[in-house]
Structure 1
Amino acid sequence: MTAHADGDATHTYENVTCPFCGLLCDDLTVTRTGSTLKVSNGCPRATAGFQRPLPPAKPMVRDAEVTLEEAIKAAADLVRQAKLPLYGGMATDVAGQRAIMAIADQTCGVVDHALSDGQYRNLRVVQTSGWIMSTLTEVRNRADLIIIVGSDIHKLHGRFFDRIVNPEHTMFDGVGTKRTVIFLGEGLDTSGAVGPRVDEVISLPVAKDRIPEVLSAISARVRGFNIPAPQATAPSTSKIGSMFAGLVPGSKLATAEAPAHEIAGIPFADIDAVAEKCKKAHYGVLVWAPPALSMPQADMTVHMMTEIVRELNQTTRFAGLSLGGNEGAPSAASTCTWQTGYPLRVSFANGKPEYDSVRYNIGRMLTEGEGDILVWVASIGTDIGLPQTKVPTIVLGTPGVRLAQSPTVFIPVGTPGIDHAGQMVRCDNVVSLPMKNLHRSQLPSSADVLAAIQAAL
């Protein structure tokens, strides 16, 4: 089922879009010989994804090999009997997401992406206060200051520096030709911030759980507030609260207050210098990857960044840029919003879309014994395999996907951009990019299998 029909013939594909991270880099050159792929210009994540050997895989029902038609019938029987089916994983392309929404609607199910916890670090901010955001293209062409917050971008998105921070060409001559890159966080890989467009690299190695303190200090200085040293005798309810209890507007510290010498281990002079660079930037950008912000109340950290951006836009141009978006997460969120008006974590149990970010969190529902079947789609990478659960499970997965347990029904499916054509939404949510069929295998798409299961209900 996974082998390709043209034997060992060699084909080269240009301008291939990579599905393995949210950047969706669309300039790859991939050579296929039989079912083996080789990438000539990809990052380590792309190389590992495209060149991963595809193990043989057959449809399985209760650990017994069956035909595709028999697996589809068995899956349809399970879904038909369920009172509250859960549709999770959702690692697929736009067509696959539409198919998930369609079958969830018909069967009164719940939809949620495997990586939605990271997405909600952004969504809570959008829902409560809004934000000012940039795009990959805008940053590439205009930014002169890039501040990376708490996220190892070089590890998560290997070509961000190559394509966005230090591109060979930009749209406007003289705009964003030299840029300062600031890393805010401990242990971040700064090696990608090199090249003729990078003027200065600054690193503030603050522990992740203390990043909010540094952001608060930057925010205060951007607004023109002074930061007094914490008072040893004053009662303290929190690190941030005690530190900024005596903020005084103006350029000089009140005579009764001693200035702060460091904040979260970072010299105040360095923090003040960053705030000054923000105010003097022509087009500054705060960059983060939501999955990397694993500190408590990470959504408040995102909120703090958006407030800094909001304040700076009174005197200059500043924006945020959220990366992440692996495993088709932006495609899932966008498709859900297009079709229901809500972000992910939507239930159709009452015959219409109902949104609740806590109640319809599939991870929580499985832990607390809600739902009576799990349909899990993992067609891109191998790392978001089926979670441990006691309910019957149906997995539509790429061959080799890691499974915590043997599913009731397993149907191998192709990867968008490799085994079939499609579209995916980029991490900045402004464009969907075409995915080519590289004809690695004859595996069906998730959309086709889901449509067949729905037709058999």
Structure 2
Amino acid sequence: MPDPGPVTCAGCALLCDDVTIEPSGDGVRLEPPCPLGAQWFSERARRPASAPAATIRGQAAGVEAALNRAAELLRGARRPLIYGFDGATVEDARAAVALADRLGALVVPGGLAGAWPGAPALPLRGASSATLGEIRDRSQVVVIWREDPLTSHPRLLERLGFVDGSADGSPRRAWRGTRTLVVLDDRDTATAARADLRLRWARERDLEALTCLRAMQRGVAARSSDLGDALGGLLERLGEVPHAAFVYGPALSSGAGGQRRALALHELVRALCGDRHVVTLALPSAAGATGAEDVLTWQTGYCGSVDLAGGHPELVTATRPLMADEGVDVSLCIEGGLSPAPAGVAEIALGSLPARGDAEVSIHTAAAGVEATGTAHRLDGVPLALQAPLARDAPSAAALLARLLAEIER
């Protein structure tokens, strides 16, 4: 493997751009060390040379034949769906939206699981956001809401200015002054073990807790005594500092009630901003999620799931899994894991990892950040270039989507 110098790792949405890679046995080793990033690189670097470039109904096929079959399916689709984007670049997402516009498709950034896959919390309330650097340099209280970034985004605490600097391993501020790391979680996680303040209650009470915090901020006493004491301490700490941050992710916003919990968090942050600056930082589960949402925002005006069937963009506010509820008959998954499809749905997969064998059409793509270059947006929206330390001949998802659109328009 040639030495490409520092590269950007797309193993998680943090997109660390100071990583060097070296061969190690069957995989690679990263410096600074990161097991998650090493696994991500290794999975994409060791594709067998004998693996087919494309398949149709599980049988090896040429890329051209697979594209023709995919175009035939999409051309005849009554209700096409485009989703995924876990490992997609901004260029991939742009090409996908162009195809969706031509087809009148439903576009869903991310997977299809959860009761509210089209949760409109951000379009309804907006978000007070910040870059990692602003949180590192200004936030004196950082609240991590039911996430374990030491596992899902291993270098996040380091990037937010918390470093190992004490004998007991507790986090310490990288610059002068006092900072507080608050972790809200009823699980015993690696991140919770490093908290300065630990809060516990069941996930089912998150909406109650956020509503109580909002009421207490307005001077209304909490009805729940057990939550009231914990929330009072948190609110007091927030009131003592000029800048604070809430870090949250799928554990808050996904599943039943996720839309309302996310909405309550952003309403709380908006209220707290009356006399101090409070920001939020979302932790997407995949590196391509932020870029895909940004592309949808630029081109449709909405950052969540968008329906283009009417000839114009409409925000999707579904309360049931979309593939079943919307009558989808053809789905196109781009650089993501295939979601289980109802009977009768023809599945097309474009991805750098092997798709399920029951996909109607599957085409292998070059992995962005390993085999192909591109642009990705870090979880705080900062664009970063992805390099190709192991450049190969496989086409990118953007190139395949452009060819697919051209074939459909013939």
The TM-score bracket by the shorter chain reads 0.7 to 0.9
Match of residue 334 from structure 1: 294
- The correspondence of residues 260-271 of structure 1 with structure 2, limited to 5 A, is 260=225, 262-263=226-227, 268-271=228-231
Match of residue 240 from structure 2: 280
**Residue 75 of structure 2 is aligned to residue 80 of structure 1:** yes
Deviation at 1:290, TM superposition (A): 3.2
Q: 2:394 aligns with which of 434, 438, 443?
A: 443
Deviation at 1:113, TM superposition (A): 2.1
**Residue 150 of structure 2 is aligned to residue 157 of structure 1:** no
- The correspondence of residues 125-136 of structure 1 with structure 2, limited to 5 A, is 125-136=121-132
Give the SS at the match of 2:367.
Answer: coil
**Residue 359 of structure 2 is aligned to residue 407 of structure 1:** yes
Match of residue 218 from structure 1: 213
Q: 1:357 aligns with which of 304, 309, 316?
A: 316
Q: 1:371 aligns with which of 317, 322, 328?
A: 328
Distance 2:176 2:150 in 1: 20
Contact kept in structure 2, 1:183 and 1:190, CA below 8 Å: no
Task: State which drifts further: 386-395 or 28-37.
Answer: 28-37
- The correspondence of residues 219-238 of structure 1 with structure 2, limited to 5 A, is 219-227=214-222
Contact kept in structure 2, 1:104 and 1:111, CA below 8 Å: yes
Deviation at 1:214, TM superposition (A): 3.1
- The correspondence of residues 66-105 of structure 1 with structure 2, limited to 5 A, is 66-91=61-86, 92-105=88-101
**Residue 56 of structure 2 is aligned to residue 61 of structure 1:** yes
Match of residue 207 from structure 1: 202
Distance 1:445 1:35 in 2: 25
Task: Give the counterpart letter for 2:158 in structure 1.
Answer: D
Give the SS at the match of 2:4.
Answer: strand
Change (3 A) 1:340 1:129: closer
Contact kept in structure 2, 1:291 and 1:324, CA below 8 Å: no
Task: Give the counterpart letter for 1:387 in structure 2.
Answer: P
Deviation at 1:375, TM superposition (A): 1.5
Distance 1:341 1:310 in 2: 22
Contact kept in structure 2, 1:88 and 1:114, CA below 8 Å: yes
Change (3 A) 1:294 1:88: closer
Task: State which drifts further: 132-141 or 211-220.
Answer: 211-220
Deviations 1:357-385 (A, max 9, x none): 136x9x84431472332111126xxxx22
Deviation at 1:121, TM superposition (A): 8.3
Match of residue 432 from structure 1: 383
**Residue 317 of structure 2 is aligned to residue 317 of structure 1:** no
Task: Point out where structure 1 has 5 or more consecutive residues left out of the alignment.
Answer: 1-9, 195-199, 228-242, 245-259
Match of residue 169 from structure 2: none
Task: State which drifts further: 413-422 or 100-109.
Answer: 100-109
Deviation at 1:295, TM superposition (A): 6.1
Give the SS at the match of 1:147.
Answer: strand
Task: Give the counterpart letter for 2:183 in structure 1.
Answer: F
Task: Give the counterpart letter for 2:65 in structure 1.
Answer: E
Distance 2:118 2:106 in 1: 21
Change (3 A) 1:271 1:81: closer
Contact kept in structure 2, 1:118 and 1:290, CA below 8 Å: no
Change (3 A) 1:322 1:122: farther
Deviation at 1:158, TM superposition (A): 1.4
Deviations 1:422-448 (A, max 9, x none): 00122223x211111112543211011
Give the SS at the match of 2:2.
Answer: strand
Deviations 1:130-164 (A, max 9, x none): 33222222111111111111222222211111221
Match of residue 38 from structure 1: 29
Task: Give the counterpart letter for 1:277 in structure 2.
Answer: R
Give the SS at the match of 1:11.
Answer: coil
Change (3 A) 1:286 1:348: closer
Change (3 A) 1:301 1:348: closer
Match of residue 416 from structure 1: 368
Distance 2:367 2:78 in 1: 30
Give the SS at the match of 1:437.
Answer: coil
Structure with higher Rg: it is 1
Match of residue 51 from structure 1: 42
Q: 2:350 aligns with which of 396, 413, 422?
A: 396
Give the SS at the match of 1:57.
Answer: coil
Give the SS at the match of 1:456.
Answer: helix
Match of residue 231 from structure 1: none
Distance 2:158 2:135 in 1: 13
Count of residue correspondences: 395
Distance 1:165 1:193 in 2: 17
Deviation at 1:96, TM superposition (A): 0.8
TM-score of the pair, normalised by structure 1: 0.77
Contact kept in structure 2, 1:140 and 1:165, CA below 8 Å: yes
Match of residue 28 from structure 1: 19
Distance 2:354 2:372 in 1: 18
Distance 1:161 1:347 in 2: 37
Two-structure CA RMSD over aligned residues (Å): 3.1
Give the SS at the match of 1:215.
Answer: helix
Give the SS at the match of 1:395.
Answer: strand
Give the SS at the match of 2:291.
Answer: helix
Distance 2:341 2:127 in 1: 37
Task: Give the counterpart letter for 2:101 in structure 1.
Answer: D
Contact kept in structure 1, 2:128 and 2:269, CA below 8 Å: yes
Identity over the aligned pairs, expressed in percent? 25
Distance 1:19 1:155 in 2: 15
Deviations 1:323-363 (A, max 9, x none): 2251511111111121122334333334x22313136x9x8
TM-score of the pair, normalised by structure 2: 0.85
Deviations 1:262-314 (A, max 9, x none): 22xxxx44432222111001311111113554464223322333333233333
Task: Point out where structure 2 has 5 or more consecutive residues left out of the alignment.
Answer: 165-172
Deviation at 1:125, TM superposition (A): 2.8
